[in-house]
Amino acid sequence: MSNNKEAKPQGMMTNLRRLLGYLTRYKVRFTLMIAIMLGYSIMLAIIPTISGVIMTTLSESSGSLAEYQNIIIVLVVVVLLFWVFGNISQRLLAGIAQKALYNLRTELFSKIQKSSLNFFDKRPIGELMSNVTNDLDVVDQFLSVSFMTVIQAIITVAIATIFMILINPYFTILTYITILGMLAISGLLARIAGEAFGLLQEQMAEINGYAEERMSGQKTVVASNQQWPFIQKFDKMSQKADEFGEKAQLSSMANTAVALVFQNLQNIIIFVVGGYLVLQQQAAFGDLVAFIGFSSVLMAPLTQIFAFYNQIISASVGAGRVFQIMDEETELPDREDAPPMPPVKGHVEFDDVDFSYVPGHKILKNNSFTANPGQIIGLCGPTGAGKSTIMNILTRYYDIDSGEIRVDDHRVDEVQQNTLRIQIAQVLQEPFLFTDTIMNNLRYARERATEEECIHAAKQANAHDFIMRQPEGYDTILRAGGADLSQGQRQMLTIARAMVADPGMLILDEATSNVDTRTEKLIQEGLLKLQEGKTSFIIAHRLSTIQNSDQILVINDGEIIERGTHQELLDMKGFYYNLYMSQFRGKIDDVIAGK
């Protein structure tokens, strides 16, 4: 059996590097984007440099009008290039970011779709929905906005610092005295905000998962009168998120205030010390003006880096959860060079099969039986005895602990699992239909089926008449899983869908347990036509549905304790006999009571 080993969560930098890998897949465009960002930062650094040159030119008596005009022309060109580079880099990143998100979203969804049922047993659907929606949303924000802002800010700081050193090393040291102080305080605040935003992100995922599940089961919530307890729990979860959010926002807002204070402090120091150096003719007036400009050039990107720190943390947390799913061993792999399953004839053998969902806690023990082609095999027993589990391992939704399962002398774990499953149709207790046309729902298991084949199957399943009463007939779109249809009508459609699939074997799991007697008769007629010539397994609580089986397997506590035909089992006067008589007495009591 596959243990579905859970992947360990990675650190922040590991997650961000992995996200960056989705961008760098497009090497040419990514390299071009970085080059244009570099040009953008150079143009940004040139602007205060030219401002300083202009001031120097104006303050010197040797400056000419022609020289001044040339500098202005250069400044205009630089500003235009600055605008062009900024727009092009944004467009390039937008395209790369969306392609990266497309790849990440597709890989995550593909991973979830290919995962074994054991993976879904451990995770609520609401949690997975949060991964697909909420976590990918914050990753999108990071790739589309935060990443470019932070990378551009880092490049800008580096380029501006080089320009500053070349113009005046002493002014550069003055500027960085305040910058280092701001970095220390902002770094501390960002760490506090980052932890809070990380907790907020995790709490929001929990809230989304909780809300998703409760809304999916709203009918049960209302029927059980559990609205108020659920509202109270949701309120407590929201209060917790509010606390994390408030802490995160306060820290983030404090960062902006700190940056503003230090920027003003920086300007004061440059004015005081720089002005003194200018008066002492130890520095040019133009250098002083340039460094006032560089103060803004430096402070703006540094402030942005810390302002976006919360989004970086959120993206890292969201990406970490996504990558944890993608790294988890969730699939039941086919063996190397596993052949496709040949057309199924229907000979099934279970040989001393043991199975456990959790290692050490066996659900099935020492189960052996044989089903010949075309036979009907009934499975009965108490709830939780292991009936549905036997069918789940026959279709290899799970791997067994020991023993062998063979279909037509092929071990199910030695053939390609998709080629096995496509030949085994299942009609479940709760019919599931997709939000699509009735025709496309019928074609779901065999896309190339013709309309004539689908209509013929619907007639065989006694579904054609009510389909034709729908507004658009077979082109009617079913919404919310066919909520506007009755339970019996939905079941008839799933039977017709199984007929269209034209399977080699059939599994019926309580297919008629939730319908009225009249509808059950129509469904049974359809099932009989579906079963013709196919090995069929019928899981039943109502023993009347398996009385005509060629063999009935009585299962209790994970073991086959009795087997035989209906009459043979009654003659044994064992577990099956008691089970049958209790149901028979229940019917007699209902008749006497006038039910």
How many helices, marked H, and strands, marked E, lie in the chain? 22, 12
Residue with tokens 């304790």: 561
In this prediction, residue 462 carries a pLDDT of 87
Q: Which of 267, 294, 327 is the last residue of a domain?
A: 327
The reply to whether 447 and 580 lie within a common domain is no
Residues 6 or more apart from 10 whose CB is under 8 A from it?
A: 18, 320, 323, 324
Confidence of residue 438 (pLDDT cuts 50, 70, 90): very high
Residues 190 and 306 in one domain: yes
Q: Check residues 552 and 244 and name the one with the higher pLDDT.
A: 552
End-to-end CA distance of the chain: 47
Where do we find the tokens 């490049």?
155
Q: What percent of the chain has pLDDT over 70?
A: 83
Residue 589's pLDDT band (cuts 50, 70, 90):
very low
Smallest Cα–Cα separation from 328: which of 94, 119, 15, 93?
119
DSSP helix/strand/coil, 204: helix
Let me know whether 33 and 153 are in one domain: yes
d(CA 53, CA 67): 11
How many CB atoms sit inside 10 A of residue 389's CB?
20
Task: Tell me if residue 563 falls in helix, strand or coil.
Answer: strand
Rounded to the nearest angstrom, the gap between the alpha carbon of residue 69 and the centroid of all alpha carbons in its chain is 59
- Cβ atoms of 318 and 394 within 8 Å: the answer is no
Please give the single-letter amino acid code of residue 279: L
Q: How many domains does the chain fold into?
A: 3
Q: How buried is 94 (Cβ within 10 angstroms: 0-12 exposed, 13-18 middle, 19+ buried)?
A: middle
Strands 402-407 and 410-411: antiparallel
Mean pLDDT for all residues in the chain: 81
Q: Are 355 and 327 in contact (CB under 8 A)?
A: no
Torsion of CA 276, 278, 280, 282, to 10 degrees: 120
Q: Do 471 and 562 share a domain, yes or no?
A: no
pLDDT of residue 402: 93
Q: Enter the DSSP assignment of 63.
A: -
Distance between CA atoms of 595 and 592, rounded to whole angstroms?
A: 8
Parent domain of 514: 341-423+505-521+531-595
pLDDT digits (tens, 9 = 90+) for 494-508: 888 888 888 889 998
Match 């400044």 to its residue by tokens: 75
Q: Is pLDDT at 187 greater than 80 in this prediction?
A: no
In the block, tokens 């401002």 appear at: 51
Whether 50 and 150 map to the same domain: the answer is: yes
Q: What is the DSSP letter of 270?
A: I
| Confidence check: pLDDT of 595 > 50 | no
pLDDT (tens digit per residue) in 245-261: 776 666 666 666 666 67
Residue found by looking up tokens 């020492």 in the block: 366
Q: How far apart are CA 112 and CA 114, in angstroms?
A: 6
Angle CA(142)–CA(147)–CA(153) in degrees, nearest 5? 140
Contact 377, 565 (CB under 8 A): no
Looking at the fold, whether 462 and 351 belong to one and the same domain comes out as: no
Q: What is the CATH number of the domain that holds 386?
A: 3.40.50.300
- Is the pTM higher than 0.85? The answer reads no
Taking the C-alpha atoms of residue 408 and residue 410, their distance in angstroms, rounded to an integer, is: 6
Domain membership of residue 116 (yes or no) is yes
- Which of 293, 327, 361 marks a domain boundary? 327
Q: What is the CATH number of the domain that holds 181?
A: 1.20.1560.10
Q: Within 387-474, where are the H helices? A: 387-394, 417-421, 438-442, 451-460, 464-468
- Whether residues 182 and 113 fall in one domain: yes
Point out the least confidently predicted range of 17-26, 216-225, 302-311, 583-592: 583-592
Query: Looking at the domain assignment, is residue 509 inside a domain?
Result: yes
Residues in the chain: 595
Are 412 and 440 in the same domain? no
| Same domain, residue pair 217 and 357 | no
Q: Alpha-carbon distance 138 to 19, whole Å? A: 12
pLDDT at 244: 74
Would residue 33 count as lying in a domain? yes
- What pLDDT band is residue 355 in, cutting at 50, 70 and 90? very high
- Quick one: 417 and 456 in the same domain? no
335 within a domain of the structure (yes/no): no
Output the CA–CA distances (angstroms, integers) from residue 427 to 492, 503, 505, in the order listed.
10, 12, 11
Residue 334 lies in a domain: no
Taking the C-alpha atoms of residue 120 and residue 113, their distance in angstroms, rounded to an integer, is: 10
Please state the rounded mean pLDDT for residues 143-171.
84
The string of DSSP letters for 520-544 reads HHHHHHHHHHHHTTSEEEEE-SSGG
Strand partners, 538: 378, 508
Residues with Cβ within 8 Å of 311's Cβ and at least 6 positions away in sequence, in order, are 138, 141, 142, 145, 146, 197
Does residue 203 register a pLDDT over 60? yes
Q: For residue 6, tell me if it sits in a domain.
A: no
The phi, psi pair for 475, rounded to 5°, reads -90, 5
Which two three-digit tokens encode residue 184?
């220390």
* Statement to judge: residues 44 and 109 lie in one domain: yes
Reported confidence tier of residue 405, pLDDT bands at 50, 70, 90? very high
Q: Is 559 within 8 Å of 366 (Cβ atoms)?
A: yes
- Does 439 share its domain with 419? no
Predicted confidence at residue 216, as pLDDT, reads: 62
Asked whether residue 336 is domain-assigned, the answer is no
pLDDT over 60 at 8, yes or no: no
Is residue 23 situated within a structural domain? Answer: yes
Could you give phi then psi for residue 366, rounded to 5 degrees? 55, 45
